[in-house]
Amino acid sequence: MTGMTSRIMTITAALTAAVASTALLVPAAGAATDTDRHGPGHGPGHGPGHGQRAEPEVFAHRGASGYRPEHTLEAYRLAIAQGADSIEPDLVPTSDGVLVARHENEISGTTDVADHPEFADRRTTKTIDGVAYTGWFTEDFTLTELKTLRAKERLPQVRPGNTAYDGLYEIPTLDEVLTLVRDESRRLGRTIGVAPETKHPTYFDSIGLSLEEPLVRTLHRRGLDHPRDRVVIQSFETGNLRDLDRMTRVPLAQLVDAAGAPYDLVEAGDGRTYADLVTRQGLREISRYADYLAPAKNLVLPRDPVTGATGEPSAVVEDAHRAGLPVVIWTLRAENQFMATNFRVGTDPNAPGDLYAESLAFLDAGVDVLFADHPDVAVAARDAWVRENRPGRGPGRGHGGR
């Protein structure tokens, strides 16, 4: 591995190429249907039993959230400029049923709501997925009220540079995000995808603000209801993905955490955990209603409990591919504290580590999509990896100066 200067030069060169690329979010490949497994028109990005995609993709996690306050139009716009194949809006509802982009429905950490005296009486405590939270919640505000708030950096101690943008940007609606994607796709001449995540679907069902219907209506209104459309809907729960499998033909992704269980299973008294979902039997079951597996990255490259370094890949990617599920890992972040020890640079937890090398390691492990807070670095690594792994190049992998 060469020094940081060489790596930065490689990243800059690859980024220039990435911004001009015409890669698509969900490349049209193989048969678009798999009616043996689930609803008509559904099917994974590649057929059952296939291996890694020749050209893996980069999803911008909440936009370019390493550089701008997350889930703002500016964060999404920057991610697109950095070459991301898709942007991700996490979705929560307002009291009048409009889907907006926030990581959580509790918004004190991502907006200036606490500075608005007119909303002081909205502060409350709620139990969501079995955990009590105190703050302000999107479902207690109309869209008009939410539009008076401004976004702020969620991790100011980790990303102090992003605080320069506090107070500048509104909370975007799903419609506004889709309009940005459409307009930027036309301007750049490449199709940009969107990967919405449905947040806390069991909870929102319980208060009469179901996410699935308005999401599907919005996508349908924009002509996004085909397996080849550049849309992937995500969820940490299983039940709403099964519902969505009957409601839409766009691809679905089962998110899998490194611990715990889907809350809809917990609520139903079902003892299965996320660990059960990534067994071979669990993956076969997922393939009946979803098109992607989206595990936490430590499930793919486990860390040594003593050293904290990654070792050999687990069986998750191979088993998922055997079940016909492309693999999306989350989340790649540039700061040391979010990395295994073998990718850290120095001892400052907030300093940048070697995200380029980490991205390459997951591509070498066989994953199909990288979720990244810093999409420019992930795109640069992906492009270098693709160049070195083109058919006919032989076994050597220089990785363009890794």
Q: What is the pLDDT of residues 15-37, one digit of tens each?
A: 333 333 333 333 333 333 333 33
Q: What percent of the chain has pLDDT over 90?
A: 84
Classify residue 132: in a domain, yes or no: no
Q: What percent of the chain has pLDDT over 70?
A: 85
pLDDT at 254 exceeding the cut of 60 = yes
Q: Which residue has the tokens 């209506």?
A: 217
Choice among 38, 42, 46, 61 that is catalytic: 61
State how many domains the chain has: 1
The residues near 182 (Cβ < 8 Å, ≥ 6 apart) are 222
Classify residue 360: in a domain, yes or no: yes
Which range is least confidently modeled, 9-13, 368-372, 383-387?
9-13
Choice among 38, 103, 200, 321 that is catalytic: 103
* Amino acid, single-letter form, for residue 74: E
First to last CA, the chain: 5
pLDDT at 164 exceeding the cut of 60 = yes
pLDDT at 402: 36
Classify residue 357: in a domain, yes or no: yes
**Span 229-240, mean pLDDT?**
97
**Span 337-364, mean pLDDT?**
98
What is the CATH classification number for the domain harbouring 46? 3.20.20.190
pLDDT at 197 exceeding the cut of 90 = yes
pLDDT at 394 exceeding the cut of 90 = no
Classify residue 114: in a domain, yes or no: no
pLDDT at 15: 37
**Span 39-53, mean pLDDT?**
57
Domain with 237 in it: 4-104+171-388
Q: Which residues of 96-118 are buried (b: 16+ CB within 10 A; e: fewer)?
A: eebbbbbbbbbbbbbbebbeeee
Which range is least confidently modeled, 45-59, 292-306, 377-391?
45-59
Strands 131-135 vs 124-128: parallel, antiparallel or unpaired: antiparallel
Classify residue 314: in a domain, yes or no: yes
The residues near 215 (Cβ < 8 Å, ≥ 6 apart) are 91, 99, 174, 196, 198, 233
pLDDT at 337: 98
Reported confidence tier of residue 390, pLDDT bands at 50, 70, 90: confident
**Span 127-135, mean pLDDT?**
98
Classify residue 152: in a domain, yes or no: no
Classify residue 396: in a domain, yes or no: no
Classify residue 379: in a domain, yes or no: yes
Q: Known catalytic residue: 103? A: yes
pLDDT at 42: 56
